[in-house]
Amino acid sequence: MNVPFFDLRATHDEIHDEIMAAVAGTLQRSNFILGPELEKFEAEFAEYCGARHCIGVGNGLDALRLILLAYGIGPGDEVIVPAHTFVATWLAVTEAGARPVGVDIDPATYNLDPSLISAAVTPKTRAIMPVHLYGRPADMAAINEVAAKHSLVVIEDAAQAHGATAFGKRAGGLGGAAAFSFYPTKNLGALGDGGAIVTSDDEVARRAQTIRNYGSAKKYHHTSLGTNSRLDEMQAAVLRVKLRSLDGKNEARQRLVQRYLERLKRIQGLGAPEIDPQMKSVWHLLVVQTPGRDALAEHLASHGISTLVHYPIPPHLQEALAHLGYKRGDFPVAEQAAEEVLSLPLWPEMSDSHVDRVLDALEAWNGFGRLS
């Protein structure tokens, strides 16, 4: 039995008829941009996140970028970002014309280490942009405290954390504004690109809503220099269907991870994540860590098990961001993570026997503790 990394078909096969009905309804109305399905999805997703507003946009990167624009953050400003994340977190800042300032992560959670933030704050710092990486909420209580001390805005990159909770409060309602991605493989995924801004700040919501639609609140009246980034009706209609099963799918991931961890924790030389009942992960990814990562991945592949690395090169060492002037050694925890992390197969409909198959192959690996 081969084990794929992820199976996107499984979810869509289950709700095939509901999705087709949502698509058919959209075709019948033939109102494809800024229509009733988007309005309904925005209301439902805002409520889901425990926030006042949701603004559907074209993708997750635009959600982050438009939040920065809505706060008036741009050239001359600095934004604090974690050193271990998908490149989009950093790119959103450069796209807005501001400078991303990296801060290292906590090795236990892979999230921004709040104790390192203050040292990175300068008179130019405007915002902190924590990522809830792999589905686990960042330490928002500590981050919000540092932000308040320095009068900074907190922007959640919640692209991997739909439904994750910190002390019972959902991602999207833990800072000033939050960005979500509906890229197909995210916990809540569209049938293409999509994203959303979630906030309880009326003014930021109003600005973001204007910016996503050519800087116009009233047709042909342009009050700001906006862009075109709107979540379309077809995607909104499909997302409304999929939102109904999000909690169930997240619970399925949590149950599978529990099964994984019972045996993973006993493997010497393999770092495995902890389940934290206060900071409830939605397990966008299940990531383990070992110095012999590449050899382990090859071993698993030889047993028909697919794995991926999220992410092999930290943003500060990417060629595209060389102009920022960072060098190897600047963020040692993030750099070590990039060399050692491995994402194991996980999707909500994964069977117990799939999980056991991965665990059998992991337990059969005798390279732990040795460098590859």
Ligand X SMILES: *Cc1c(COP(=O)(O)O)cnc(C)c1O
What is the rounded distance in angstroms from the CA atom of residue 312 to the CA atom of residue 343?
11
**Nearest distance, CB of residue 235 and ligand X, angstroms:** 11
Backbone torsion region of residue 76, taken as left when φ is above 0, otherwise alpha when ψ lies between -120 and 50, otherwise beta: left
Residue choice 3, 38, 60, 279 for contact with ligand X (CB under 6 A): 60
Q: Contact at 8 Å (CB) between 349 and 7?
A: yes
Kindly tell me the sign of the dihedral angle through the C-alpha atoms of 118, 121, 123, 128. Answer: negative
Helix (H) / strand (E) element for 339: namely helix 332-340
- Closer residue to ligand X, CB minimum distance, 334 or 359: 334
Q: What is the DSSP string of 191-250?
A: SS--EEEEES-HHHHHHHHHHTBTT-SBTTB--S---B----HHHHHHHHHHHTTHHHHH
- Closer residue to ligand X, CB minimum distance, 180 or 355: 180
Q: By C-alpha distance, which of 256, 283, 285 is closest to 353? A: 256
Residue choice 19, 112, 159, 296 for contact with ligand X (CB under 6 A): 159
Instruction: Choose one: 58-66, 119-127, 216-224, 269-277; the region binding ligand X (CB under 6 A).
Output: 58-66
At 325, is the secondary structure helix, strand, or coil? Answer: coil
Name the token pair of 330: 């600047």
**Nearest distance, CB of residue 223 and ligand X, angstroms:** 26
Residue choice 111, 160, 250, 343 for contact with ligand X (CB under 6 A): 160
- Closer residue to ligand X, CB minimum distance, 5 or 365: 5
- Closer residue to ligand X, CB minimum distance, 181 or 250: 181
286 binds ligand X (CB under 6 A): no
**Nearest distance, CB of residue 161 and ligand X, angstroms:** 9
**Nearest distance, CB of residue 315 and ligand X, angstroms:** 11
User: For strand 99-103 and strand 78-82, is the pairing parallel, antiparallel, or unpaired?
Assistant: parallel
**Nearest distance, CB of residue 104 and ligand X, angstroms:** 17
In the region spanning residues 61 to 90, those forming contacts with ligand X, defined by CB under 6 A, are 61, 85-86, 88-89
- Closer residue to ligand X, CB minimum distance, 51 or 93: 93
- For residue 348, give every residue at least 6 positions away whose Cβ sits within 8 Å of its Cβ, in sequence order, or none: 10, 11, 248, 249, 250, 252, 253, 256
Instruction: Choose one: 73-81, 155-163, 169-177, 205-213; the region binding ligand X (CB under 6 A).
Output: 155-163
Residue choice 11, 26, 59, 343 for contact with ligand X (CB under 6 A): 59
| CB-nearest residue to ligand X | 60
What is the rounded distance in angstroms from the CA atom of residue 57 to the CA atom of residue 79?
22
| Contacting positions for ligand X (CB under 6 A) | 59-61, 85-86, 88-89, 131, 157, 159-160, 181, 183, 193, 195
